[in-house]
Structure 1
Amino acid sequence: MKHNIGAGNPMRAQFEPKAPYTAQHFAWSFADGVGTVTLNRPERKNPLTFQSYAELRDFFNALRFATDVKCVVVTGAGGNFCSGGDVHEIIGPLTGMSMPELLEFTRMTGDLVKAMRACPQPILGAIDGICAGAGAMMALACDMRYGTAAAKTAFLFTRVGLAGADMGACALLPRLIGQGRASELLFTGRSMTAQEGLAWGFFNDLYEPADLLAQVQETARALASGPTFAHGMTKTMLSQEWAMTIDQAIEAEAQAQAICMQTQDFRRAYEAFAARQKPVFQGD
C-alpha cells in the first residue's frame, strides 16, 4: 500500500493498494501475519495531527484488502500510547476554522474509528502510559486492549470545553464498561486507572511495561494463525448485532456460520481432528 498526500487539504489523503507500505506519520512493521502500528512522536507523547489522522483512517480502510495482514497491534513509542490531538497543530488551528471545516475535521476523526471497526482483522491495543482524548478513542476502537499498571486513560474532551460525545464515545464506551461508569468518565474527563480499566472490562489484561508489546504480539500471532476468515466474520457480527433484536441476531449468526462452513478452513479443521492433528488454517 502506498500513501500519497497532496499539497491540498491535509485532512484528505488517498491510498493506492500497493505493497510494501511505508508510513509517513507512524511506524509500521509486519511479520508472521501481524502488523504493528506504532504512534511515534514520543517527545510529545505521540499526539495526532491532521496528517496522521488522515493516514491512519486511510490505512485502516485499506486493510480490508490486505489479505496478508491477519491481525494488527496498535501501540505507542516511548512509554506512552497517545496524548490525543496535538494542542498546537490541531486544537489551535480549529479555533479559527469555519463550521464546514470543523465538521470535515470531526467527521474525519470519526471515520478513523469507523475504519478500525470495519477492517476485518482483529486489532489489539498495547497501551502504556498516557492514553487520552483521541488516543483513548483509538484504544476503544480496538477489539481487545492490554495495558500496564502505568496506563492512564482519559476521555478528556470536557477539559477543553467540548462534549464527551466525540468519535463515537457515547456509543462505544457504555457498551464496554457500562452506562454509569462511562457517564462519569465522559462528564468529568478524569483518568481511569489501569486497575479500574481491568476491573471494568476496558483492559483484557495488564502486563509489565517491558513485556507489554511482546505479549500482545504473541496473542496477535496466535490469532493470525487461526481461521482468519472466521475471525473477520466474528468481528462483523459483534458490530452488526448491536442494532438487532435477539431473533434477528440468531438468524444473522445462522447465516454467518453457514458461510463459514463453506470455507476450506472448516474442512481442514475436521480433517485434522479426524487425523488427531492440529489444524493449519490458511484463511480461505
Structure 2
Amino acid sequence: MTDSTDRVDPALAAGNRQALAGYQARHFGWRVADGVATVTLNRPERKNPLTFDSYAELRDLFGQLRYATDVHVVVLEGAGDNFCSGGDVHEIIGPLIRLKAPELLMFTRMTGDLVKAMRACPQPIIAAIDGVCAGAGAILAMASDLRVGTARSKTAFLFNRVGLAGCDMGACAMLPRIIGQGRASDLLYTGRALPGDEAHAWGFFNRLVPPESLGTEAQAWAAQIAAGPTFANGITKTMLHQEWAMTIEQAIEAEAQAQALCMLTEDFGRAYRAFVAKQKPVFEGN
C-alpha cells in the first residue's frame, strides 16, 4: 500500500510534520520509544521543581508536539520519589517578589501557555505521580489527560498557602471538571494536601498503584493507547477539551463532523478489514 505521506506535498509536510525522537532537552529528561515520549522532571534533590527555563522549554516542546509524527502518547513523570514540588522557591519565587506588574504578567502568561500547549497537543498525556505533587506540579498533573498515582502521594494546589489566589494556570476552570466544584473549592481555598487514596476516590487519579509499579503501569498504559488509532485519539482529546464550551446541540454537531472525518482515515478501513478477517487491527495512525 502506498504510504499516505507520498500524497503530501513535501513543502507542506516539511512545515507541518516533524520527528522529535532526536530532540535534545536541556532542562528535563526526554526520550521516545515506540511512539511513547517520556518527559522526566529530573531535579530529584529538590523534589523536581520548575524554573523559568524549564517552564519555557516545556511550553515550547508541547507546542512542537502538535507536529510530531513519531510521538503518539506522552508520559510525564518525576525523577526519584516525587513528581514535582512546583516553582523553585529560590529560582522563581524569590525573583518574582522583585518584579513589576508587566514582568509578573509575562511570567503568569508563560505558565498559562504551558497548560494551553498541553491541552492543544493531540497526544494524550499520562501523569505518573508519586510523592510531592504541589503548586505548579499539581497543575501539570491536572492538565494531563490521565493520572496514575500512589497512595503515598500528596497533591496540593497550595497557592492559597503562599498568599495567592487558587485561580492559577486554569485551575478554577479545569479542576472542577475533574473532581467537581465542591471538592475543587476545598483544595483551592485551603491548599491542603490530597492523599493518594482520596485523590483516587475523588477521580483525580484514574488509577492507584504501588510506588514500585508506577513507571511500569504508566508506560504500559501509554503503549496501549499508542497502539490505537492515533488520529482518532487526537480528535477525541480535542473534543473532550472543546465541548465544555458548547451547548449539547453544538457538541452533537461537532462530533458528527469529527466522526465523519475519522471515517475517512485508513485506520477505519483497517479496523473493518481486521474485523471481517477475525483479527486484531494494527493501526498506523493515518
The equivalent residue for 1:114 is 116
The equivalent residue for 1:74 is 76
Q: CA RMSD in A?
A: 1.0
**Alpha-carbon deviation of 1:64?**
0.5
The equivalent residue for 1:12 is none
- Selected match of 1:189 from 185, 188, 191: 191
**Alpha-carbon deviation of 1:231?**
0.2
**Aligned residue identity for 1:154:** A
CA distance in 2 between counterparts of 1:222 and 1:207 reads 17
Indicate conservation of the 8 Å contact 2:21/2:70, yes or no.
no
**Aligned residue identity for 1:190:** R
The one-character-per-residue Cα deviations of 1:162-219 (angstroms, maximum 9, x if unpaired) are 0000000000000110101100100000001111111111000111111101111001
TM-score (norm 2): 0.93
The equivalent residue for 2:236 is 234
**Aligned residue identity for 2:116:** K
Counting helix residues as a fraction of each chain, which structure ranks higher?
A: 2
The equivalent residue for 1:165 is 167
The equivalent residue for 1:223 is 225
How many residues in Structure 1 have an aligned counterpart in Structure 2? 269
CA distance in 2 between counterparts of 1:139 and 1:196 reads 15
Taking the TM superposition and a 5 Å limit, the aligned residue runs for 1:1-284 are 20-284=22-286
Q: After the TM superposition, which segments of 4 or more aligned residues of structure 1 sit over 4 Å from their partners?
A: 16-19
CA distance in 1 between counterparts of 2:188 and 2:19 reads 37
Indicate conservation of the 8 Å contact 2:48/2:83, yes or no.
yes
CA distance in 2 between counterparts of 1:18 and 1:141 reads 21
CA distance in 2 between counterparts of 1:17 and 1:77 reads 25
**Alpha-carbon deviation of 1:29?**
1.2
TM-score (norm 1): 0.93
Percent of aligned pairs sharing the same letter = 71
**Alpha-carbon deviation of 1:19?**
5.5
CA distance in 2 between counterparts of 1:19 and 1:36 reads 10
Indicate conservation of the 8 Å contact 2:126/2:218, yes or no.
yes
Indicate conservation of the 8 Å contact 1:124/1:145, yes or no.
yes
Structure 1: gaps (5+ residues): 1-15
Structure 2: gaps (5+ residues): 1-17
The equivalent residue for 2:3 is none
CA distance in 1 between counterparts of 2:188 and 2:56 reads 25
